[in-house]
Structure 1
Amino acid sequence: MTRSILLRALVFGMSASFLVACNQPSGQGAGPGKGAQMPTPEVSVVTAHVQSVPLTRELVGRLAATRTAQVRARVAGIVLERVYTEGTDVKQGQVLFRIDPAQLEAKLKAEEAALAKAEADAVNAALTAKRYQELREKKTISQQDLDTAQAAERTTAAAVKQARANVDGARLDLSYATVRAPIAGRAGRALVTEGALVGQNEATLLTTVEQIDPIYVNFSQSVQELTELQEMAVDAQGAGVSALETKTSVEVQLPGDDAYSKSGTLDFSDLAVDPGTGAVSLRATLPNPHRALLPGMFVTLRLTTGHLDQAALLPQPALARDAQGAYVMVLNAEGKVEQRRVESHGMTRRDWILTGDLAEGDQVIVKGLQKVKPGAMAKVAPAEPPADGEKAG
């Protein structure tokens, strides 16, 4: 019984040793530290191009009309007709509203009648003064009578001038019954309808006309940023030249990340700093021929303040930072990874603007940075095929 148990234990131990030997991977058992070599990591790279890059600042601005005119009723009356179409462009002098002119026409006729009476009185007074002058020469009337006749002549002549002024005023009021556009631009919504009484004790607002081509972009900058902008203008054009005189370029990005096709120029800077914000108000002018930009819209403003020489544009994943600052990883001609220190000068819409230890043609790693370290070997990964619907770059 005991021999049978010992025999079974011996057979079991030999089987276990055989299984362990079979399951041991090849290469092991040859001694510690002699395992298989790790494969060379693959990375994606972009080629650095050193060039002159424009320096831009991204700000938020609000659009405003270059000219705004409030159209008001300058005489009292009932609105008979709205002539224009709301939201359309109108020309200067174009008829917008018609106010009932009946009362104004009656007033004009009354003033014309008063003028006719004054002119008749003036003629009679002039004839009387002439006759009195002849009689006075014959010594048949006193000097007092002559002086009185001449005074009446002058008084009636003044009355004629007053009556003519009254006629001109009445005629002017009658012309105000036809309300015209004071400037060319886009006419807004009508604030009154036909049948409304307007101009009674106040100049009733009828509508607004805004000129939006060109259009203004209002924004603000800190004093420090404005000083830098002025320094760049001096560097570019010489001392005594302001940023306004250099026609600093301005681009606008519409809501929805759509870039506006036309660029504008900076044309106004306020003379004082806002004590509440510490910023200076600025304004740019943009062409707006197709009326795509509307007053009141908020837009992203890109202000080009100068150019940076010997800079490179690199995608966002290329830049990394540590305690010492910003750096990129470069794959040299021997396939080794090098760390290059760089300085960031902001971004374009997609890329970093970098200067520093970069040369034309450097292969900058943009994908696989977590798999490499300075001095290690790496290789460029095969190019991925373009996705459906995309063109190969």
Structure 2
Amino acid sequence: MRTTHLRLAFAALSLTLVACSENKGATQSPAAQTAAAKPKVSVVTLSPQSVTITAELPGRTVASLAAEVRPQVNGIIRERLFREGTEVKQGDALYQIDPASYKAAYDSAIADLRKAEAAVPSAQAKVDRYESLTKQDAVSQQNLDDAAATLAQAKATVEAAKAAVETARINLDYTTIRAPISGRLDKSSLTAGALVTANQTTTLTTIRTLDPINIDVTQSSTNLINLRQAIDSGRIKLSGDNVSVRLKLENGTIYPLTGKLEFAESSVSETTGTYALRAEFPNPDRLLLPGMYVRALVEEGVAENSFLVPQRAVSRNTKGEPVALLVDKEGKVEQRVLTIGQSVGNNWLVSSGIADGDRVIVEGSQLTRPGQSVDPVEVIIDDTTGEVRERKQAALTPQTGNDVAAINAAPSADTSKN
């Protein structure tokens, strides 16, 4: 009997709870139920803008000038006249070879020149005398011709002696080995007392000009074709004749000075399918040294009326096509297939699939599906940190320079990074 009463009590309690739950659900309005069913998503409104197209290319730093120093005469190095690793100017003395034998050869050449010059006046006087006597038929014409030949030989001997003097002087000057260019010196391979020979294969030292410095980079022929076609179709406009180049160093920092593109090769490598470019950078602090690995950021042109879509908003469908979820005017989710180009910072450059004023979902897409109604919240994305903030909250809190510019600029600038 007691068990029966307990069962009746539990049944009554259950009916009471069910009735309370039904009454509570009946008190919620349809609008409240609809709002509770709408997931919140973060969106960014897009608009067209001018985007600077840059190519990030791998490269190496190369000295703008390089000269290997070698002796041009034989001899013993008597003295090294520079400090290794220092800067020198063109014409500065680097080594001194013992000049004794070359000084003697120079003095001997001077003496030979004086001897040759001394024979010219006598030969000239003989010619003048024979010319006068020939007119009087005192000497034969043959004698005059012989005297003229002797004078010519004497003058030729003088010219040869002058050349010998100049050769001896040059060799004597070569005993002082000078810097052929201005730049920084490497270590010396030989010391005082070493025997050197003219034009030997072993270099004494190497001089490299570091300011300015060159950057040799490579670009694929495929990218070149794509760029030329984009320019021809009008999608990209050239930024001008002077193409500026920025530099990203090995540690990821940006080199503070801007360089310029000097030339591009006229042929493509048959083995690698690339062609070479060379840029020139000022290097007053000698921060860049030859052989460093760098990445050059080359400005190829400007794409006008283009859209930048955050990379976090783009995914791939089952066909491998890039897609993005957007919120239409009715507040419903729509999926679109995009045509994307290169990356610009944390964004994709999109050429089709986006229109002015479209709202792309950057957060919350995993909770939605196409056709579903959602509650969109306008946000901005910090290009530096990638942090997503609501536009209202970002306007009320202290901002970084990038955030302030993003708030004050057009909607498209919120996700752009030129």
Q: Which residue of 1 aligns with 2:173?
A: 175
Show the counterpart of 1:4: none
How many residue pairs get aligned? The number is: 375
Q: 1:377 — aligned with what?
A: 374
Is 1:90 aligned with 2:85?
no
Secondary structure in 1 matching 2:326? strand
Distance in 1 of aligned mates of 2:12 and 2:171? 115
Contact 2:49 2:304 survives alignment (8 Å): yes
Q: What is the deviation of 1:263? A: 3.2
**Is the partner of 1:259 in helix, strand or coil?**
coil
1:120-135 matches, within 5 Å, as 120-133=118-131
Q: Does the C-alpha gap of structure 1 residues 25 and 77 become closer, same or farther in structure 2, counting only changes over 3 Å? A: farther
Partners of 1:182 and 1:378 in 2: how far apart?
Answer: 73
Tell me, in whole angstroms, the C-alpha distance in 2 between the residues paired with 1:277 and 1:179: 42
Aligned to 2:102: 104
Q: Which one has the bigger helix percentage?
A: 2
Amino acid at match of 1:254: L
Q: Residue in 2 aligned with 1:78?
A: 76
Distance in structure 2 (CA, Å) of the matches to 1:27 and 1:331: 40
The reply on whether 1:272 has 2:228 as its aligned counterpart is no
Query: Do structure 1's residue 328 and structure 2's residue 296 form an aligned pair?
Result: no
Q: Which residue of 2 aligns with 1:345?
A: 341
Which of 49, 52, 58 lines up with 1:51 in the alignment?
49
The whole-number CA distance in structure 2 between the counterparts of 1:80 and 1:39 is: 93
**1:1-393 map, 5 Å:** 11=3, 14=6, 18=10, 40-133=38-131, 143-200=141-198, 202=200, 205-231=203-229, 246-323=241-318, 325-331=321-327, 335-360=331-356, 362-374=358-370, 375-380=372-377, 383=389, 393=403
Residue 15 of structure 1: how far off its partner (Å): 6.8
Structure 2 Cα separation of the partners of residues 234 and 97 of structure 1: 58
Structure 1 range deviating more: 282-291 or 71-80: 282-291
| 1:3 alignment counterpart | none
Per-residue CA deviation, residues 68-92 of structure 1 (Å, 9 max, x unaligned), is 2222212222223333333333322
Gapped regions of structure 2 (runs ≥ 5): 380-388, 404-418
Deviation at residue 112 of structure 1 after TM alignment: 0.6
* CA positional deviation for 1:249: 3.6
Q: Distance in 1 between matches of 2:127 and 2:112?
A: 22
Quote the sequence identity (%). Answer: 37
Q: Is the 8 A contact 2:72 2:198 kept in 1?
A: no
- Match of 2:411? none
Distance in 2 between the 1:15 and 1:124 partners? Answer: 156
Gaps of at least 5 residues in structure 1 are: 1-6
Kindly indicate whether the alpha-carbon contact (under 8 Å) linking 2:71 and 2:199 is maintained by their aligned counterparts in 1: no
For residues 101-132 of structure 1, what are the alpha-carbon distances to aligned partners after superposition, in whole Å with 9 as ceiling and x for unaligned?
A: 22221111111111111112333333444445
TM normalised by structure 2 equals 0.74
Rounded Cα–Cα distance in structure 1 between residues aligned with 2:4 and 2:19: 27
- Hey, what's the Cα distance between the residues in 1 that align with 2:230 and 2:261? 14
TM-score, length-scaled by structure 1: 0.78
SS in 2 for 1:205: coil
Contact 2:71 2:196 in 1 (8 A): yes
> Whole-Å Cα distance in 1 between the matches of residues 172 and 230 of structure 2?
58
